[in-house]
């Protein structure tokens, strides 16, 4: 499983700048990094006048632009994809996916906070799966690590230990009609234990490592 961490924060908090700093540090440690930027307002990369724009406007559902050193896919989708859905596009090409945004997603989050721009944090540990804060302000009342904006090496150590090295941890996903369903801790444990218990009782499945159930 490719681990994911979301970098979140209010407008002008410096999310992109932070990601720009952490990528080369992780690269130097031998990790391949994938990045997903979430834009709720939509975006265009196939600008008017370009062949890809003309082909897309003509009615193509998918346009692939290929060159010797890059490939890009422009594709219509029916809903705003979750990080779990996007993760499948990366297959095994990266060691970690860093997203900018996705505050409402279920993935672990690091909030970037600058005291001169905002007054309070937007995330918390319980409801938003906040795992750390990166800020130029000290927080004494939060139950997660707080790193200085310039402590890139320490933050990389944290990501390496908490996110990357734990990528083999078992994961449970519930996808209904193509949509990721957020599970509470109780429901996730109940489903996990129930399924593993039933499957492990079957002959030849005593020690299951990866279980997939598809109901159509």
The ranges assigned to domains in the chain are 4-40+80-164, 44-79
* Predicted local distance difference test score (pLDDT) of residue 165: 78
Task: Quote the CA–CA distance of 185 and 193 in Å, as a whole number.
Answer: 12
Contact 115, 136 (CB under 8 A): yes
Q: 115-131 in b/e burial notation, b at 16+ Cβ within 10 A?
A: eeebeebebeeeebebb
The list of the chain residues with pLDDT below 70 reads 1, 38-56, 58-60, 64, 66-67, 88-89, 91-92, 166-171, 185
Task: Quote the CA–CA distance of 178 and 84 in Å, as a whole number.
Answer: 11
Multiple choice CATH, 4-40+80-164, 3.30.540.10, 3.40.50.300, 3.40.50.10420, 3.40.50.1970: 3.40.50.300
Could you report the per-residue pLDDT of 107-156, keeping only the tens digit for each? 899 999 998 887 888 888 888 889 999 998 888 778 899 999 999 999 99
Strands 130-135 and 146-148, bridge-based pairing: parallel
Task: Quote the CA–CA distance of 99 and 12 in Å, as a whole number.
Answer: 16
* Predicted local distance difference test score (pLDDT) of residue 157: 94
* Predicted local distance difference test score (pLDDT) of residue 42: 53
Residues written for the chain: 216
* Predicted local distance difference test score (pLDDT) of residue 83: 75
């Amino acid at each position: 499983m490719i681990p994911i961490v979301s970098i979140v924060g209010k407008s002008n908090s410096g999310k992109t700048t932070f990601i720009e700093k952490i990528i080369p540090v992780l690269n130097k440690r031998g990790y391949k990094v994938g990045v997903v930027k979430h834009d709720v307002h939509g975006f265009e990369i196939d600008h008017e006048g370009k062949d890809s724009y003309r082909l897309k406007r003509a009615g193509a559902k998918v346009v692939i632009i290929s060159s010797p050193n890059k490939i890009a896919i422009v594709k219509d989708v029916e809903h705003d994809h979750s990080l779990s859905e996007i993760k499948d596009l990366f297959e095994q090409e990266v060691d970690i996916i860093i997203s900018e945004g996705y505050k409402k997603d279920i993935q672990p989050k690091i909030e970037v906070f600058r005291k001169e721009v905002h007054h309070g944090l937007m995330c918390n540990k319980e409801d938003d799966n906040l795992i750390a804060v990166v800020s130029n302000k000290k927080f004494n009342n939060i139950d997660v690590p707080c790193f200085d904006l310039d402590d890139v090496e320490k933050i990389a150590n944290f990501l390496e230990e908490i996110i990357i090295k734990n990528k083999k941890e078992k994961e449970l996903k519930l996808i209904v009609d193509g949509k990721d369903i957020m599970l509470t801790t109780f429901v996730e444990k109940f489903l996990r234990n129930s399924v593993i218990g039933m499957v492990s009782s079957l002959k030849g499945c005593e020690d299951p490592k990866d279980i997939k159930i598809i109901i159509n």
